[in-house]
Structure 1
Amino acid sequence: MADTPRIIVTLPTEQVTELRKLTDNVSGYVAEAVARQIRHHLLGADLLRHQEEHGAFTEEELAEARSRICASW
């Protein structure tokens, strides 16, 4: 089992109210949201690095990427 330290997070009351409507496992929900944000950040860094090495993406490459993303949803 992964090490899971306890931390304290402060959120606006409105967010806590809505969060509790969505789940009874706040820790799990927040952990998934944080993991998603980390993946998003890492992907952005990888895309930037790729463009620095190979140049900006072409419109065709962007269109293909959008098509693949939409097809996976």
Structure 2
Amino acid sequence: MATTTRITVTLPTEQVAELKKLTDNISGYVAEAVARQIRHQLLGEELRQYEEEHGAFTEEELAVAHARIFGSSEPGGGATAA
């Protein structure tokens, strides 16, 4: 089991009300949100460092990344307008 530390967090009343509608485990919900934000920030920093060392990503590199993430090389999943 992961070690935990009790802290106090102050949130706007409206956010707390919405959280209570979404979950009975507010601590778990907040912990998941914090973990997701940390991953997001770490990934952003890694991408910035890569671009500093190797230059900006090309359109082709971005298309390949998009395809790997979303399963299509076209933005929007490859759907076309009728």
Give the alignment's TM-score, normalised by structure 1. Answer: 0.92
Aligned-residue sequence identity (percent) comes to 75
Output aligned runs, 1:1-73, within 5 Å.
Answer: 1-71=1-71
**Separation in 1 of the partners of 2:11 and 2:67?**
36
| Paired residues, number | 71
Q: Greater Rg, structure 1 or structure 2?
A: 2
Report the aligned-residue RMSD: 0.8
**Separation in 1 of the partners of 2:25 and 2:56?**
42
Q: Which runs of 5 or more residues in structure 2 are unaligned?
A: 72-82
Q: Which runs of 5 or more residues in structure 1 are unaligned?
A: none
**Separation in 2 of the partners of 1:19 and 1:68?**
32
More helix by share: 1
| Superposed structure 1 runs of 4+ greater than 4 Å apart | none
Give the alignment's TM-score, normalised by structure 2. Answer: 0.82
